Structure 1
Amino acid sequence: MRRDVPECENIFHKYRADIETLQQQFKCCFHDFHAMQPRIALFTDPLSATVSEQPSELQLELCEIQSDPFFQAKRSERGVSFWRLLQESRFPLLRDFALSMASMFGSTYICESNFSTMKHIKSKKRNRISDDVLFQLMRIGCTNIDIDIQSIVRQQERPQVSH
């Protein structure tokens, strides 16, 4: 920004501390990713991943994949679509590895989403909710089922329509 917009130089000092704080928080949140680099490389491109950098239990199956002409022909397949090509009976450890990597970020999103739902349910005005009621409300709040109330009412012999 300093090169593109020189007039911003005057206000950079105001935001320096905030930016440095954000950088520290980012490093704290994602410090594990450096250690996970070989696993991430394996997940994104298993045919080019370095076998010796991978966990010992995966190395044999990885060697088989990298030497198999079928998988070499499927080099253009990436991510989950590649991992679906693996037979579970032939590559059980690599399949488990791929499932754990693919679900890593989805499970974090689900956890954060459910926590947000709980915060809405158990607000300051509703702080006396018992654990049982909170559990039931969380089950309702976190489900993706759409209920068609109109069709349920139509199926009843004598529905109560006064409400």
Structure 2
Amino acid sequence: QKYKEQIHDLAREFERRFEDFKNLEPLFTILTTPFCIKADEIPEDLQLELLDMQANCELKEKFKSGLLLEFYGSLSDVSFPNFKRFAAKMFSIFGSTYICEQAFSCMKINKSKNRSIMNDCNLNAIMKIVTSDLAPQFKNIVENCEQFHTSH
């Protein structure tokens, strides 16, 4: 009985969290199947661009053979500005959610009772590091270094 209640609560929580995705499902369909949908079933600002896209055999092949991000990234800014904007908006849902979750987890760990002496300035610096994609170029650093510290 105890586990039954927990599973029921968990199912309700998942339902609540994914409710937004159910509302966005028609938009995801546009993004994932642009060559199978009818123009009159999508927002007006995308209709003409969809028809142009569907008439282009080269774009059909590119869509079949590649990743969605690459496909939408390769669309012409001049010919498909609305579709590019739409795709960027839809893809940003996932990226911003991931970054938000990553930042929250980091902040939770760093502001735990074990690190209660940490000030906001330090936390701000840590948050910038954790949420960035920077990678040190160690080879370049070593090659450009004129003097190394020697031990005594």
**Structure 1 length normalisation: TM-score?**
0.74
Number of aligned residues: 149
Taking the TM superposition and a 5 Å limit, the aligned residue runs for 1:28-67 are 28-67=16-55
1:63-142 equivalence runs, <5 A: 63-74=51-62, 76-77=64-65, 79-142=68-131
SS in 2 for 1:97: helix
Residues 1:23 and 2:8 aligned together: no
The question of whether the paired residues in 2 share the 8 Å contact of 1:66 and 1:72 is answered with yes
Larger Rg: 1
Contact map agreement 1:117 1:138 (CA 8 A) in 2: yes
User: Cα RMSD between the aligned structures?
Assistant: 2.8
Q: Which runs of 5+ in 2 are unaligned?
A: none
CA distance in 1, matches of 2:127, 2:73: 33
Decide which structure has greater helix share.
Answer: 2
- Post-superposition offset of 1:44: 0.6
* Structure 2 residue identity aligned to 1:17: E
**One-letter code of the match for 2:38?**
T
Where does structure 1 lack aligned partners over 5 or more consecutive residues? 1-12
Tell me the TM-score normalised to structure 2 length. Answer: 0.78
Higher RCO, 1 vs 2 (CA within 8 Å, ≥6 residues apart) = 2
Q: Equivalent pairs: percent with the same residue? A: 32
